[in-house]
Chain A
Amino acid sequence: MDPSLNPLASYLPLAVALLLAGALALIIPSLAAVLGPKRPSAIKSTSFEAGSESSGPARQRFAVKFYVVALLFIVFDVEAVFLYPWAVNFQSLGWFGYVEMLVFAATLVVGLIYIWKKGALEWES
């Protein structure tokens, strides 16, 4: 944008902003921890389960129904990442690049249709 700013100068404010975000996220709860009262009690420190007594710890095994979808998610998210550099250079790549990416996306779409027909996207069956 500005030719007078070298890359380092345009990244440095970004680093400062990230540091500030981290510092704020650290300071605000710490401030509350210092300012607030401390009155722990046995009842208060049990886990809150809608007013009834807790029926044991939450560290239990339970069915994660969406693990197939989660695997599919990684595939398609990586596809989206591949699309970004292609999209930025799209107009210089021309029709050749268009067809190349169409072939690449088509293989993934076939996978999506397959997993759709297999019923991996149906949770309530």
Chain B
Amino acid sequence: MKRVLTILFIFAIIVGALAGVVFASYMVGGLAEQYLFTGASRLTNIIFLMLVFVMVIATMLTLAERKWSALMQNRIGPNRARIALPGLSDKSLAGLPHVATDALKMLFKEDFIPATANKLLYNLGPMLAFAPVFALFAVVPAGPSVTIFGQRVDMVVATPDFGLLFIFAISSLAVYGTSLAGWSSNNKFALLGGVRASSQMIAYEVALGLSLVGLMLSFSSVQLPTLVGNLAAELGLQTGTGQARYLWQFTGEGGAFDVGVPAWGFLLQPLGFVLFFAAAFAETKRAPFDSPEGESEIIGYFVEYSGMKFGMFMISEFVEVVILSGVISVLFFGGYHLPFGGNWLANLEVMKENGWLYGTVLGTFFWLKVLFFCWLQLTIRWTFPRFRYDQIQTLGWKILLPAGLINVFVSGALVLWDPSLRLLALFGLLEIGVIVAMTLYSPEQKGGETHGHGTHGAGHGHDDHGHGLPAHATPAHAATTHVGHADTHPAGVPTTAAAASSH
């Protein structure tokens, strides 16, 4: 009971902190609009969204990852760093001081460059890994546009027409940092890590590009605020736009609480979601796609890096996790919109009068979605074993790419057949059912086969064809060899031992 209360208390603190910062960012945006110039809130959003939200969540994830992995492995996790203040010096504070000590340690470590390294490229590596990743969040809308002090405040940095293309283009740049770091270190292990990184990139990048085409043709846009859409109540129309509209609406006539099936991306494009998540997960270079790094076994591209330069690689990985969560929320889970009751909320008198309240509620909801997907990524990272480099190629070229192409043209036919997207959503539900069924009844689970491939249900299902992966050592094969050599293995399976004794 005490544990449950503690967890609820921690959740309340997290929600409260998110709501507080969302509120502050809306208010500062409103003040900037009023006292500076039109569009000044976009510049304050840079500070709040990119420097406060993304960077702080990414920093906290470094601790959350260690704590969560500890929980999954029945350990305690980091708890040694203390704050030397009266009353705090004997409290571990859930390991929070470790975040500060890590940052300080990296700042005050020697800035070391190996003698044989190419100095310019060696210094450029971590910068090229960090800068593109950090800039990505500029196009992600993190809250509704509301009116504060009579001024319009958007909770987004920039709304270019090419939103998704910006994400594709800039996120691909980060691999240059990785490859340069591997090559410029003049270390064979680092070089191999860098080459593995580029080989991984060519495996997932095509699937990443194809996975979102289905979404683009459903909504006829690549601009992220258009994909998120506006509620009917916000527009004053009968139906909303983008993912904020209902495919089927059950209740909600005349200001009542509205319930329905929203046109969220994961309903329209479940396969696209799985493909995008798998490919983008590979882009973050975290397990099961961590063959460029291989922290403990195969040595990664940043073996020659230490101090803050290593820290840049590490923090850019966590920033990528946050941004991927944000992009998934925006593209597939309706952005900052509630799954139901959105129109009811927007029509409330108190919400209409106080724009900041409406913005704070929905903005907090957006960041809760982001935290959920961060948690999901941490869990995946500590659940699946690493892919070998050729298994990543097999996954990317033989599973993800054909599945992506099929997804594009099947979705296209369904969208043309029924422009209201209802048929696409029904087909999506069917896809979800098939993916769940294939995950539950995959032959790998029945045979207890060692699996290091196919992170998702779709992958499992397609793997039945067998690509001659060397990792396929089924227990069935093992059993036959045992029978064959029963006389040399007397301590074998009881039945084979009995067969041997009968000879």
A residues at B contact (CB < 8 Å): 1-2, 4-5, 9-14, 16-18, 20-22, 24-26, 28-29, 31-33, 35-40, 44-50, 55, 57-60, 64, 66, 69-70, 72-73, 76-77, 80-81, 83-84, 86-92, 94-95, 98, 101-102, 105, 109, 112, 116, 121-124
Contact = CB atoms under 8 A, between A and B. Distances in A.
Which of A33, A47, A72 counts the most B-chain CB atoms under 10 A from its CB? A47
B111 A33 contact: yes
B217 A87 contact: yes
A3 to B, nearest CB: 11
B108 A13 contact: no
Given A1-B225, A33-B111, A49-B188, A25 B134 contact: yes
Contacts of A49: 187-189
13 contacts: A14-B158, A18-B138, A25-B312, A29-B312, A37-B108, A45-B112, A48-B114, A59-B186, A66-B202, A84-B165, A90-B216, A102-B409, A121-B397
A10 B160 CA distance: 6
A2 B412 contact: no
B43 A105 contact: no
A72 to B, nearest CB: 8
Contacts of B185: 47, 58
B261 to A, nearest CB: 21
B397 A98 contact: no
A21 B135 contact: yes
B103 to A, nearest CB: 10
Contact of B110 (A26, A38, A84): A38
B186 to A, nearest CB: 5
Contacts of B43: 13, 16
A66 B199 contact: yes
A29 B110 contact: no
B175 interface: no
A36 B128 CA distance: 22
Nearest to A18: B135
Nearest to A47: B187
Interface string B11-24: 00000000000000
A45 B110 contact: no
Contacts of B189: 49-50
B469 to A, nearest CB: 9
Nearest to A95: B416
Contacts of B412: 90, 98, 101
Contacts of B346: none
Shortest Cβ-Cβ A-B pairs, 9 listed: A32-B308, A80-B209, A45-B115, A14-B158, A87-B216, A17-B138, A90-B217, A21-B135, A25-B131
B288 interface: no
Given A21-B132, A44-B112, A59-B186, A13 B158 contact: yes
B111 A105 contact: no
Contact of B222 (A22, A45, A64, A88): A88
Contacts of B127: 22, 25-26, 29
A21 B199 CA distance: 27
Interface in B221-280: 221-223, 225-226
A29 B123 contact: yes
A90 B159 CA distance: 22
B225 to A, nearest CB: 5
Given A14-B158, A32-B108, A66-B393, 5 more contacts: A2-B154, A16-B46, A45-B113, A101-B412, A121-B394
Contacts of B220: 87-92
B390 A17 contact: no
Nearest to B38: A4
B107 interface: yes
A98 B413 contact: yes
B142 interface: no
B158 A10 contact: yes
Nearest to A34: B111
B46 A17 contact: yes
A37 B186 CA distance: 23
Given A47-B186, A80-B210, A36 B110 contact: yes
B160 A83 contact: no
A76 B213 CA distance: 14
Given A69-B393, A73-B205, A91-B415, A2 B159 contact: yes
Contacts of A60: 188
A47 B116 contact: yes
B424 interface: no
A18 B189 CA distance: 32
A49 to B, nearest CB: 6
A1 B116 CA distance: 52
B94 interface: no
Contacts of A50: 189, 299
